[in-house]
Amino acid sequence: DVVMTQYPGSLAVSLGERATIHCKSSQSVLSSSNNKNSLAWYQQKSGQPPKLLIYWASVRESGVPDRFSGSGSGTDFTLTIDSLQTADLAVYYCQQYYNIPLTFGGGTKVEIK
């Protein structure tokens, strides 16, 4: 299985500041068939289902604010939230779809400082 490791487990960021979340996979998730990284990011607010933010490591889902961005390649990925807002309080998960089973990182809880 592809093991996904997220860090930090939690972080507190001041409103208007940047939050950076890291995700590392145990093997490369770069697909040779299309040269894209098979990685998605989700946001889960308390008591709600996950919401897709980003796929192919950097493609923002329709309707997702542009303060959310994804980057990285191979085994190391980053989700950046620019100008953090109160609505961004949530747990964020990375997920690989390079191989089955689909696997998630352990989550990063973003809190407001």
Partner 1 sequence: EVHLAESGGGLVQPGGSLRLSCAASGFTFSTYSMNWFRQAPGKGLEWVSFISSSRFSIYYADSVKGRFTISRDNANNSLYLQMNSLRAEDTAVYYCARGWYDIVTGYPDWSDQWGQGTLVTVSS
Cβ-contact 19, 13 below 8 angstroms: yes
Q: Does 87 bind partner 1 (CB under 8 A)?
A: no
Q: What angle do CA 99, 60, 86 make, to 5 degrees?
A: 115
CB of 30 to partner 1, least distance (A): 13
Rounded Cα–Cα distance for residues 108 and 44 (Å): 10
Rounded Cα–Cα distance for residues 80 and 90 (Å): 14
- Interface with partner 1 (CB under 8 A), residue total 26
Residue whose entry in the numeric block shows the structure tokens 């998960």 = 93
Q: Which of 23, 25, 68, 105 binds partner 1 (CB under 8 A)?
A: 105
Judged by CB under 8 A, the chain residues 11 through 70 that form the site for partner 1 are 31, 33-34, 38, 40, 42, 44, 48-52, 55, 61
Q: Please give the residue ranges that form the binding site for partner 1 (CB under 8 A).
A: 31, 33-34, 38, 40, 42, 44, 48-52, 55, 61, 93, 95, 97, 99-107
